[in-house]
Amino acid sequence: MGLHRRLNLLSNLLIFASFVLFANHFTLTYGKSNGTLHLDVTPINHDLYHTSGALLEEIESLVHRHPDKLSIEKVSSKNKGYEAQMTVVTYRQKWKESDDRTKLRILLTFGQHARELITTELALRLLSILSEEQFLPNVDRSTLNRTLDRLIIKVVPVENLNGRKRVEDGELCERRNGRGVDLNRNWSVDWGKKEKDYDPYEENPGPAPFSEPESQIMRKLSVSFEPHIWVNVHSGMEALFMPYDHKNTTPDGIPYQIMKSMLDDLNHFYLRDHCLVGSGGASVGYLAHGTATDYMYDIARVPMAFTFEIYGDLKASSKDCFRMFNPIDITSFNRVLNDWSAAFFQMFSIGVQQMDGVQSKAIASRFDNWVSIDDYLNGYLMHRKSRYAKKMEVLDLGLQEIRAYFRLFLLSSVLLLFMFCSRISKSTRPIVSGMSL
């Protein structure tokens, strides 16, 4: 090989090596999000954050160490070749008690949006406190246990596991599930409506309400568990939201007053008045259609339905999603988990107090369970079996009443026939003579 050819080959090798080094540097410096590369993207801090697999393994170990308080189940659902699995942890102090209907039932879900890793860390922290492996500062444990004895809590620590895996693979701005649907737009209340600034990447509602296995699992869980309190935990800002998301209003009357009072208490005493408080539709600056919280309040009839936004870096670039939705230093990380853990346990306490108040009023008045004819005609038949989406149809109730009347009719007919036959047997001769005329 001539000297000239050798020099050309060496030059080409140097150019190729330089390109490889540049490409590696570009990837490390810019990062990957939404399938594109962006400048100064903050990577996941694995010193603070678990992978989804490690987090769920730690939760399973926690449950196995505390079978007297915690139980775990894994629920799967599949639709058109797409499958989702969800871990559900149940906390109950006294498993042997048969009358769970007297307890306050609370349903908490975390990680509905894949990029919001801090929410799943809060789920782990709450379960650790419930199992007494971690403790809330300045809280008397005996007092706390008296509150917890009145509760059943179901926790979904990672609702959107498939989407979370995409984030862990480098798509740091991904919020949707494994096939590109926003799970918080896939519920049936006002589903599919699109605002002028609709972004399909951010808000794709799917082809139909409850098209996604994750939403199907959560709906079934809400129907079977019938929670009194529902909290959907997110990040991106600091806020305590009540319904509604799809319109710029809040519930009327006493329900609004109860929810607003609770949220104001949490914000002032535990969250340093940092949070927006009100309806999501009125506070965020845009309306959201097909959300889980609106469904829980309007359809599942959960008395207190909330969305908690536990962290947000409003100064972060819109392309720097990990920083925008998750604290990146240990001080902020611990502050978020400590403050919001305290707020959640205060919410548990307030919920028990409100339940006691409702029960006291019911005992004080014998007439609380009376139903007026107006209530009856305006839908009481539709709800008297259950407030939680297991409604008996009016037709079913009507058929039951018809069957009851029919049974009464048959019984009366049998009695009348028996009386008639008895009378015939006592007066046979006159009847016969009459027939012979």
Which pLDDT belongs to residue 376?
33
Strand 32-33 relative to strand 229-234: parallel, antiparallel, unpaired?
Answer: unpaired
Which pLDDT belongs to residue 2?
55
With the CA atoms of 202, 298, 102 and 70 taken in that order, what torsion angle do they form, in degrees rounded to the nearest 10? -10
| 399: number of Cβ within 10 Å | 11
Total domains present in the chain:
3
Does the residue 411 lie in any domain? yes
Q: Are residues 63 and 24 in the same domain?
A: no
Q: Are residues 309 and 341 in the same domain?
A: yes
Which pLDDT belongs to residue 101?
74
Strand 151-156 relative to strand 104-110: parallel, antiparallel, unpaired?
Answer: parallel
Question: Is the model's pLDDT at 369 over the cut of 70?
Answer: no
Percent of the chain scoring above 90 in pLDDT: 66
Does the residue 375 lie in any domain? no
Q: What is the pTM assigned to this prediction?
A: 0.77
Residue 94: pLDDT band (50, 70, 90) is confident
| 369: number of Cβ within 10 Å | 7
**Whether the Cβ atoms of residue 279 and residue 290 lie closer than 8 Å to each other:** no
- Domain of 7, in residue numbers: 3-30
Query: Chain-wide mean pLDDT for the chain?
Result: 82
Interacting residues of 303 by C-beta distance below 8 A, sequence separation 6+: 228, 229, 255, 258
Residue 387 one-letter amino acid: R
**Helix, strand, coil in percent for the chain, rounding step 5:** 50, 15, 35
CATH number at residue 87: 3.40.630.10
Question: Is the model's pLDDT at 29 over the cut of 50?
Answer: no
Which pLDDT belongs to residue 303?
94
Which of 73, 133, 309, 393 is catalytic? The answer is 309
Is 171 annotated as catalytic? no
Q: Are residues 402 and 281 in the same domain?
A: no
Interacting residues of 16 by C-beta distance below 8 A, sequence separation 6+: none
Q: Are residues 17 and 59 in the same domain?
A: no
Residue with the bigger pLDDT between 418 and 355: it is 355
Residue 99: pLDDT band (50, 70, 90) is low
Does the residue 38 lie in any domain? no
Q: Report which secondary-structure segment, H or E, holds 210.
A: none
Q: In the predicted model, what is the mean pLDDT of residues 212-224?
A: 97
Q: In the predicted model, what is the mean pLDDT of residues 331-339?
A: 98
Q: Are residues 18 and 65 in the same domain?
A: no
pLDDT tens digit string along 114-123? 999 999 999 9
Which pLDDT belongs to residue 32?
42
